[in-house]
């Protein structure tokens, strides 16, 4: 039996973010966007619209950020090109 049971909008948002997230991306909620925007440090966001769910956002960087974002690894079972162990079929 779990010690705590969580229900409501927070759990729904967390579940949505987990299901639609990508490697090497910072996935944030509207509340986090509001906090970062209030700091007036030039943070840049990209809206992630999902039908029937609350919008979530990628944190892209800050104004003047000119480095390219890393390319997420292929998670569909294709060949890997990065460092780390390679998985082979048995």
Give the model confidence (pLDDT) of 22-32 as tens digits.
888 899 989 99
| Average pLDDT, rounded, for the chain | 79
Closest CA to 48 of 68, 67, 26, 63: 26
Rounded Cα–Cα distance for residues 23 and 58 (Å): 12
More confident residue, 15 or 2: 15
List Cβ neighbours of 31 (8 Å cut-off, separation of 6 or more).
none
Instruction: State both tokens at 52.
Output: 């029937």
Torsion of CA 13, 31, 43, 27, to 10 degrees: -10
Closest CA to 14 of 31, 37, 35: 31
For tokens 């944030």, the residue is 28
Local confidence band at 67 (pLDDT 50, 70, 90 cut-offs):
confident
More confident residue, 2 or 79: 2
Percent of the chain topping pLDDT 90: 26
More confident residue, 87 or 52: 52
pLDDT over 60 (residue 86): no
pLDDT over 90 (residue 52): no
pTM: 0.60
């Amino acid at each position: 039996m779990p010690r705590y049971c969580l229900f409501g909008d927070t759990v729904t948002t967390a579940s949505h973010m987990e299901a639609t997230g990508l490697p090497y991306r910072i996935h944030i909620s509207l509340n986090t966007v509001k906090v970062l925007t209030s700091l007036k440090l030039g943070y840049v966001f990209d809206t992630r619209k999902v039908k029937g769910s609350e919008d979530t956002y990628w944190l892209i960087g800050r104004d003047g950020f000119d480095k390219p974002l890393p390319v997420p690894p292929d998670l569909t079972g294709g060949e890997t090109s990065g460092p780390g162990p390679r998985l082979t079929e048995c």
